[in-house]
Amino acid sequence: MKHTLTTILLFCFVISVPLLAADKNSSSTNPLLGKFNEIIQFADLTAEYIKEATDVSIKEARESLAKLYTIPKEQRTFDNTMLELDNIYNKAGNIYGSVYLMGSTHPDDAVRNQADEGKAEFAKFFNEISLDENLYRAVKDYSETEEAKSLTGYEARFVQKTVEDFERNGFALPKEKRDELKAINDKLSDLSILFQKNIAEVSDYLIVDETEIDGLQEDYKNARRQEDGKYKIDLTYPSYIPFMKFSNSESARKELYTLFNNRASAKNPEVLIKVLILRQQMAELLGFKTYAEYRTGDRMAKTPQNVWDFENNLIDKLKEKAQIDYDELLTVKRAKLGNETIDVIQPWESGYYNNILLKEKYELDQNLVKEYFETDNVIDGLFSIAQHLFGVEFEEVKDPSVWHKDVRLFNVKQDGKIISRFYIDLYPRPNKYSHAACFPMIGSKETESGPQLPTATLVCNFPAPTADMPSLLPHGDVETFFHEFGHVLHSVLTKTKLSSQSGTSVSRDFVEAPSQIFENWTWNYESLKLFAKHYKTGEVLPKELFDKMLAAKNVGSGLAFTQQVYYGILDFTLHDKYDPTSSQPVVEVMKELQNKITLYPYLEGTQMFAAFGHLMGYAAGYYSYLWALVYADDMFSVFDKNGIMDKATGLRYRDIILANGSSRDELEMVVEFLGRQPSQDAFFKAIGLEVK
């Protein structure tokens, strides 16, 4: 599992959007309104096309909904009500999926800005129909029919979940309260987009001289050297993470840490308070004490107390390992500075001293390690492993029509037939989404024209190749690559009848499990030797070096997982125990929790939460990373037992977990795959804790 602060699951997540498909008979020149299962011509996309597609799809969805409302109660069937509702969501959702992606990745300002406007329009539309009394009544009426009561499997689950979602959205409320709820949700949608936009627009950087960049490799320096001989260090991960690990200048690291932890701090604290106030109002309107109570009700956790118990149990279990990790760093710092009285590791020092610890005590040179992970080799290995385990073939589309020259497109084939597609967009550029994520675009669905081809995009920000050097990935980035590709696999290997149940539509506190499990293939020599080859010599990663990596795997795991617990508790506190109308600023809550939970002291003047994007999409849900990891490690124990490249296990996992999306209960699927009830033992073993 990922075990360092910067590579564990902080910014690696799936972007969840509703899903839908284009008209099979369309003759429009608009790339987003093409024919059924046709590859989208992204290179032809303009701001005008995005606006047209947004307007047309919302207009057509409203017209289809109007027809659905008029069906008499006694004539309602699954096909004319529930299937038609899925068709409507599906058709609007495919447009939304691409619009959302373009708002995060397109290099043209006009296209990106129009896409952001389109995202807001779609969000308001989906909010509108989630509060549409006519639609609720249509679904509720159908749910009370004899046909509905006789349904089983995915159909029964779709009806049940749809009714529950409507009722959680306020259909126990009178009309005026529902209107109030809609207004709140519309405001929340706009504020959420603004919060993320403020983060994306951060362009701060640090200029350093030769002494301050001492310790960094030549390829890193060459990529950032300015005309005057100084170096520009921006706040993207390929710049920030290596600098914090390798720069010998404590003052420069502290300055960069301060900049990084103040991203969007001029704008987002005010935005966040508005969001928290509106969420609390929403929860109270719906009859819940807090937003956290509302949010956990339809997830695996069920109640806030279960989340608090989970997090507090982790704190207790991690305490001893975290202290051991901290003491190791103190020993390194004392030796480095020649001062045995030092008793504090500052947060901007942790990566630096951890790197020295790995190099000196564990004899692990991370710069040497990354020489065995050239990006193209990693792609080849990743694809080879996935194709073998899951019985599919990835075929690159030559000269695809894409939004940027770096983007690549692949068909996924099974038994010679194309079953899905995915794009990869791997390197940083201005105004691009700055973390790592899978963007689902089109979901799985059975249609009259045949199966709809699921499509997703993998967006990362790995070090780009230069004129002198290929793209080399630190092992943490290799983990990130596998993690995010796990989301892609969940999106493109799903085979659901309804797009509403496709792939990553599972409960938010399970959605990370299929990505987390896939990280394990970066920690096994049998799989690594397939692709870990020196970029100059082609030499396979030596077993001796791998053994050092493995020995160091859980160095710092107690600190890193404690940090994850802190993020989860910060998020959950803001949504369960904090009064946003009080005079207490969020930064004081953050400071108190950081000093209480983690071993790194808070640095005055920093406001990390202002760029904590998960406070939007994962509101009251950040706990789900570790919650899902428990299931991921438990499921991986089956591969561990049967063989990491065992195809029979891979096919079972594909068919039970990936293919079913949310068409079955998540816990039921896990139990079937495990052949027993879940356990936390594999999780604690994976992070280096003894299982008692």
Alpha-carbon distances of 647 from 386, 418, 526, rounded to whole Å: 10, 21, 14
Name the E strands within 320-465. Answer: 393-396, 408-414, 417-425, 436-442, 445-447, 450-452, 455-459
Rg (CA), the chain: 25
Nearest to 415 by CA among 357, 509, 495: 495
Dihedral over Cα of 652, 653, 656, 659: its sign:
negative
The DSSP element (H or E) to which 50 belongs, if any, is helix 47-69
Could you tell me the two tokens for 50? 């995005």
In the block, which residue shows the tokens 């910014």?
A: 11
Main-chain dihedrals φ then ψ at residue 308, nearest 5 degrees = -60, -40
Residue 338: burial class (beta carbons within 10 Å; 0-12, 13-18, 19+): exposed
Nearest to 575 by CA among 273, 193, 166: 273
Task: Mark residue 222 as left, alpha or beta (left: phi above 0; alpha: psi -120 to 50; beta: remaining).
Answer: alpha
Residue 71: CB atoms within 10 A of its CB come to 16
Nearest to 236 by CA among 566, 517, 463: 463
List the alpha helices (DSSP H) in 493-542: 513-516, 525-528
Could you tell me the two tokens for 537? 């010599």
Do 242 and 216 form a contact (C-beta atoms < 8 A)?
Answer: yes
Among 484, 512, 519, 666, which one carries the catalytic annotation? 484
Report the relative pairing of strands 445-447 and 450-452 from DSSP bridges. Answer: antiparallel
484 is a catalytic site residue: yes
Amino acid, single-letter form, for residue 540: V
Task: Count Cα atoms within 13 angstroms, Cβ side, for 661.
Answer: 26
Amino acid, single-letter form, for residue 254: K
Do 557 and 317 form a contact (C-beta atoms < 8 A)?
Answer: no
Alpha-carbon distances of 203 from 230, 564, 631, 681, rounded to whole Å: 18, 26, 38, 44
Measured between alpha carbons, how far is 2 from 5 in angstroms, rounded to an integer? 9
Residue 51: burial class (beta carbons within 10 Å; 0-12, 13-18, 19+): middle
Helices 109-130, 175-200: inter-axial angle, 10-degree rounding = 160
Measured between alpha carbons, how far is 87 from 69 in angstroms, rounded to an integer? 15
Catalytic residues: 484
